[in-house]
Amino acid sequence: MSSFSDEAFSLEFFPPRDQVSRERLVGTAKQLLAMHPRYVSVTFGAGGSTRDGTAETVSMFSQLGCEAAPHLSCIGASRESLVQLLDQYKARGIRRIVALRGDLPSGMGNNDSDYRYASDLVRLIREHAGDWFHIEVGAYPEMHPQADSPEQDLDHFVTKVSAGANSAITQYFFNADAYFDFVDRAVQRGVTIPIVPGIMPITNSTQLLRFSQMCGAEVPRWIRLRLAQFGDDKASIRAFGAEVVTQLCQKLIDGGVPGIHFYTLNNAEATLSVWKNLRY
């Protein structure tokens, strides 16, 4: 029997865009908090587009009694704006931050700020706030799409960890071997922090293929073929998705992962069905 437990889960949400989505998110959150996740995290749009939305959504989760961690991205941001946000989060008692580089929205040109990489942000957080925050960073078992090689990407990951990250969450993947290989290589480089797999439930083929194209996650051919076969049959896609993602999570748990981070996409059903299927 593994030592995995409900507290090893974390859940990711994005800030709702309007009042209707906000009300819907409260309902979704209440359903998902039945999982007793260790914490939830709330994404942040690069370029500051959802800066207030992130903070408001974090407050909403705190009011529901759950630890909530804002994502913070540094690309295109000034030191002043980053420090201001860190101070606000500290004043509100937030103890965990997901520190990212972020991606500039297309058309925003090159980034010439001092904060070009997530490691720069991790350094700033440590300089400014000491050990107040538990810092999560991103990791890419299938390589970040802009990296020159897996080896260089790993070098950059190690730099980010050395700058003061406490744990990492991976980009999603469907091939457990890619994750275990990445962790093995990181451990060989002296990394000791937990590397938690990020898991994307499958509910919508078009959306999944579009996201995966953008973030460099490989959707295996057999999964693409099966999804294509289902066409618009949403119920079959959801049932197949739950089966595939449950098997992936079970394999990861059996292999000793330190946790599982679900990209919920603000949807309760898909994550809950995987969680209910799991045996640990």
Residues of the shown chain interacting with ligand FAD in the complex, contacts defined by CB under 6 A: 43-46, 71, 73, 98, 100-103, 117-119, 138, 144, 146-147, 152-153, 156, 160, 169, 171, 198
Residue pair 280/246 in contact (Cβ under 8 Å)? The answer is no
The count of C-alpha atoms lying within 13 angstroms of the C-alpha of 68, restricted to the half-sphere facing its C-beta, is 23
Min CB(27)–ligand FAD separation in Å: 22
* Whole-angstrom distance, CA of residue 98 vs CA of residue 111: 21
Write out the two tokens for 166.
């406490």
| Nearest residue (CB) to ligand FAD, 45 versus 194 | 45
> Cβ 51 to ligand FAD, closest distance in Å?
11
- Minimum CB distance to ligand FAD smaller for 58 or for 98: 98
Whether 12 sits among the annotated catalytic residues: the reply is yes
CA distance 87 to 36: 28
Distance CA 279, CA 6 (A): 11
Per annotation, catalytic residue among 7, 12, 67, 151: 12
Least distance between ligand FAD and beta carbon 70 (Å): 9
Q: Which single residue is written with the structure tokens 């990394």?
A: 191
Cα(186)–Cα(134) distance, integer angstroms: 20
Judged by CB, which is closer to ligand FAD: 49, or 84? 49
Least Å distance, CB 235 to ligand FAD, is 29
Both tokens assigned to 279: 């045996």
Angle between helices 51-63 and 19-32 (to 10 degrees): 40
Nearer to ligand FAD, 101 or 238 (CB): 101
Residues acting as catalytic residues: 12
